[in-house]
Amino acid sequence: MQKFKRQLGLCLFWASWLLWGVLPALPFVLDADGATTAMVATGLLVAAEVSFFGSLLLLGKPFYQLFKARLKPYWLTVTGRWREKH
C-alpha cells in the first residue's frame, strides 16, 4: 500500500507540473474564442493545483520539506535576495 501511495503521489506531482507546462502553449494550440480559452485555462489551473495538493497529501511532510529546500535557492535568485543571503 505504501508503494502504491508513493507512486500515485509522484504521478500526481508530475501531472501537476505537466498541466502548468501546457498553459503557455494553450493560446497557440487551442483555436477558439477568448472565453473558451479562458475557461480551458482555468480548468487546467484548477486541475494542476488539485493534483499538486493531492500529491502533497500522499507523499507527506518530508517530501514537501525536501521540495521546498530544493526550490529555495532558485526562488532567492529570482527575487534578487540571493545576494543578501551570501
Per-residue pLDDT at 18 exceeds 90: yes
Whole-angstrom Cα Rg for the chain:
17
Percent pLDDT > 90 in the chain is 43
Helix 34-59 crosses helix 2-22 at what angle (to 10 degrees)? Answer: 150
- Read off the pLDDT band of 83 (50, 70, 90): low
Domain locations in the chain as residue ranges: 2-85
Rounded Cα distance between 17 and 1, Å, is 25
Looking at every residue in the chain, the average pLDDT score rounds to: 87
- At residue 44, the pLDDT reads 93
pTM, full prediction: 0.74
Using one digit for the tens of pLDDT, what is the confidence trace for 38-48?
Answer: 899 999 999 99
